[in-house]
Amino acid sequence: MVHSDDKTGNHPEPPTEDNSEPERIPVMQQILDNPFLLLFLGITIPAVFYVIWGIMEIVHIPIAK
pLDDT value of position 29:
94
pLDDT per residue as tens digits for the range 9-41: 676 666 666 567 889 999 999 999 999 999 999
pLDDT value of position 11:
67
9 in Cβ contact with 1 (< 8 Å): no
Q: Please state the separation of Cα 46 from the chain's center in Å.
A: 17
5 in Cβ contact with 12 (< 8 Å): yes
38 in Cβ contact with 32 (< 8 Å): yes
Taking the model in full, what pTM does it have?
0.54
Provide the residue ranges of all domains of the chain, joining segments of one domain with +: 27-59
Distance CA 23, CA 30 (A): 13
Q: Which is nearest to 47 in space by CA: 39, 35, 36, 28?
A: 39
